[in-house]
Amino acid sequence: MWRVAFFSLRPRSHFVWMDSVPESAASVKKILCEAPVESVVQVSGTVISRPPGQENPKMPTGQIEIKVKTAELLNSCKKLPFEIKDFVKKTEALRLQYRYLDLRSFQMQYNLRLRSQMVMKMREYLCNLHGFVDVETPTLFKRTPGGAKEFLVPSREPGKFYSLPQSPQQFKQLLMIGGLDRYFQVARCYRDEGSRPDRQPEFTQIDIEMSFVNQTGIQNLIEGLLQYSWPNDKEPVVVPFPSMSFAEALATYGTDKPDIRFGMKIIDISDVFRNTEIGFLRDALSEPQGTVKAIRIPEGARYLKRKDIESIENFAANHFNQEVLPIFLKANRNWNSSVAKFIMEEQRLELIRLMEIQEEDVVLLTAGEHKKACSSLGKLRLECADLLEIRGVVLRDPALFSFLWVVDFPLFFPKEENPAELESAHHPFTAPHPSDIHLLYTEPEKVRSQHYDLVLNGSEIGGGSIRIHDAELQRYILATLLKEDVKLLSHLLQALDYGAPPHGGIALGLDRLMCLVTRAASIRDVIAFPKSFRGHDLMSNAPDSVPPEELKPYHIQVSWPTDSEAEKSSLNHPHHPES
């Protein structure tokens, strides 16, 4: 008699004890014991209860074992490049190269199965409960204005290319005009951004559009959708989600995607320092748009080490060329800072009052133009949170899912390369805020939009807007304000002329949402076959070379870079390990 320790029954990761009937013990034992790990074996036999006292109630299969009569080795497994239970230690490049083995890990099985279940629940909610129609839209389409990030697909007509769209934006609006009043699609989208961490050249969004709806209507729908589809093994979603204006998000958290699971809000303390002798504060305040801002790190003096503060200062200097002034509050209420002696007692008291400063806190000050000072402190706030958590402070409850609507975005931003010109803050189809429409013709940069973003734990997981349904207004914004080539969009402009209903929608980034729900380290862990950091499929080695004769039907040829260009390009993309 012998007993196989246990066998893993893939794919549900169940283990089962096996024993053999005496008659076939030798042959069965030989097959089962000699099969390499991860081989595929077929056994026949009888399922029986485990002997009393040997049950494992924690396992779904813990009550049974199999009395094996026959065993057959269906497929033997070669020596594995890594152990499959060892999820963490192997490098990501190796995991991607042998993705089919990595998929066998508990974590990948859990992530992909949960993703499937959650999307199914979303479909039930939209399709069965709310009358949405799942419509597939084309991915071989025409390039959009400014679509520099769109992959091209050569056609068999010389010089003519399709484009892989970044979203079904135009189609969903055309569907509204076509009378499909409630559209949704789990849509594949494409964006060619070159190498960017945690981005994929193809990604998936839950794409939704409705006719005769306003901002609240879309928000209620999405709150219900997430509540309905939320996994049972997670903290339930509480609705309605809080809402915050873009202006408040920027002023208080220094970002349009605030993580509101913790405080450390940005406080404007310009008034405290109107008459300061501290040089960089005085200089900043002498500018017309100058401000002084600060965040308070509770118990920072207790938890943060000197080198943590140095790393914060370095971070500020390296990432946004911003001077940051840390002030430590000692237990004895003394202020420890290089500028402490320049802070007058009344300023000190005012700061304590404004910022609710307590013993052992650290305060980080910065100065400059409102937006820049806020975004800098917003990033430092997150850096400090990371540092505090490394030091053992629980700041962001990992079980908590904290949703937030960010609303009232500006409709336009000044162009970075030419601030006199405007560009859409989101996209040119976004409707202006009804209260601000008159400003379009006088001060367009002040117009707020009907755009809304959905933020989860500090990550943007969705965004949408009420769209323009008036052809005149759309033409004015595209041609006069944005100076876009309207020819590329003539079909959409024309469609608006034929009785377009008021409409709006939203898109949720499924990959990022699943990443947050499963608490995965990267969106690559919620995608079955992701591309590497550099856009490669490391398993199949895509993209790959193509023989010139296969390019011929598409009337294209490769423009090989000259030596000097190639050198320049390899400097931009130095050879580094993938992932």
Site for a copy of itself in 537-576 (CB under 8 A): 537, 539-546, 550-552, 554-561, 566
Please identify which residue in 26, 48, 59, 77 interacts with a copy of itself, judged by CB under 8 A. 77
Closest distance of CB 115 from a copy of itself, Å? 8
- Tell me phi and psi for residue 45, to 5 degrees: 170, -160
Which residues does residue 207 pair with via DSSP β-bridges, in sequence order? 185, 507
Q: Which is nearer to a copy of itself, 306 or 575 (CB)?
A: 575
Residue with tokens 């915050």: 244
Any idea of the CA torsion for 378, 380, 386, 389, to the nearest 10 degrees?
Answer: -100
Helix (H) or strand (E) holding 294: strand 290-297
Q: Quick check: helix, strand or coil at residue 440?
A: helix
Please identify which residue in 70, 145, 202, 352 interacts with a copy of itself, judged by CB under 8 A. 202
DSSP string, 82-108: S-TT-TTTS-HHHHHHTHHHHTTSHHH
What residues numbered 430-489 form the site for a copy of itself, per CB under 8 A?
Answer: 469-470
Q: Is 228 in the site for a copy of itself (CB under 8 A)?
A: no
Q: Is 99 in the site for a copy of itself (CB under 8 A)?
A: yes
Closest distance of CB 125 from a copy of itself, Å? 11
Cα–Cα distance, 426 to 413 (Å, whole number): 9
Closest distance of CB 364 from a copy of itself, Å? 40
Which range in 170-178, 338-346, 360-368, 517-525 contacts a copy of itself by CB under 8 A? 170-178
Closest distance of CB 228 from a copy of itself, Å? 15
- The two tokens of residue 540 are 């199949």
Which range in 180-188, 277-285, 432-440, 516-524 contacts a copy of itself by CB under 8 A? 180-188
Please identify which residue in 15, 87, 110, 162 interacts with a copy of itself, judged by CB under 8 A. 162
Sign of torsion over alpha carbons 101, 107, 111, 113: positive
Give the distance, in angstroms, between the CA of residue 24 and the centroid of all CA atoms in the same chain.
55
Q: Which is nearer to a copy of itself, 99 or 296 (CB)?
A: 99
Instruction: Single out the residue of 561, 538, 487 nearest to residue 91, CA to CA.
Output: 538
Q: Is 158 in the site for a copy of itself (CB under 8 A)?
A: yes
Cα–Cα distance, 166 to 187 (Å, whole number): 10
Please identify which residue in 100, 129, 240, 277 interacts with a copy of itself, judged by CB under 8 A. 100
> Do 151 and 565 contact (CB within 8 A), yes or no?
no
Q: Is 96 in the site for a copy of itself (CB under 8 A)?
A: no
What residues numbered 315-374 form the site for a copy of itself, per CB under 8 A?
Answer: none
Please identify which residue in 188, 234, 427, 475 interacts with a copy of itself, judged by CB under 8 A. 188
Closest distance of CB 472 from a copy of itself, Å? 11
x/- binding map, residues 367-386, to a copy of itself, per CB under 8 A? --------------------
Q: Which is nearer to a copy of itself, 47 or 566 (CB)?
A: 566
Instruction: Single out the residue of 216, 145, 246 nearest to residue 493, CA to CA.
Output: 145
User: Which ranges constitute the DSSP H helices of 366-467?
Assistant: 370-390
Q: Is 60 in the site for a copy of itself (CB under 8 A)?
A: no
Closest distance of CB 303 from a copy of itself, Å? 42
What residues numbered 485-544 form the site for a copy of itself, per CB under 8 A?
Answer: 491, 495-502, 527-529, 531, 535, 537, 539-544
Please identify which residue in 44, 75, 220, 338 interacts with a copy of itself, judged by CB under 8 A. 75
Q: Which is nearer to a copy of itself, 237 or 493 (CB)?
A: 493
Please identify which residue in 152, 238, 239, 437 interacts with a copy of itself, judged by CB under 8 A. 152
Cα–Cα distance, 550 to 408 (Å, whole number): 50
Cα–Cα distance, 16 to 177 (Å, whole number): 57
Q: What are the CA-CA distances from residue 482 to residues 434, 444, 445, 485, 503 (Å)?
A: 20, 11, 12, 9, 22
What residues numbered 407-436 form the site for a copy of itself, per CB under 8 A?
Answer: none
Instruction: Single out the residue of 508, 505, 429 nearest to residue 203, CA to CA.
Output: 508
Q: Which is nearer to a copy of itself, 376 or 474 (CB)?
A: 474
Q: Is 102 in the site for a copy of itself (CB under 8 A)?
A: yes
Q: How many residues lie near a copy of itself (CB under 8 A)?
A: 112
x/- binding map, residues 118-147, to a copy of itself, per CB under 8 A? -xx--xx--xx----xxxxxxxxxxx----
Any idea of the CA torsion for 113, 114, 120, 124, to the nearest 10 degrees?
Answer: 150
- The two tokens of residue 575 are 């050879």
On the 0-12 / 13-18 / 19+ scale of CB atoms within 10 A, 467 is buried
Angle at 557 between CA 552 and CA 560, to 5 degrees: 150
Please identify which residue in 18, 175, 264, 425 interacts with a copy of itself, judged by CB under 8 A. 175
Which range in 57-65, 97-105, 257-265, 342-350 contacts a copy of itself by CB under 8 A? 97-105
Instruction: Single out the residue of 401, 403, 384, 405 nearest to residue 393, CA to CA.
Output: 384
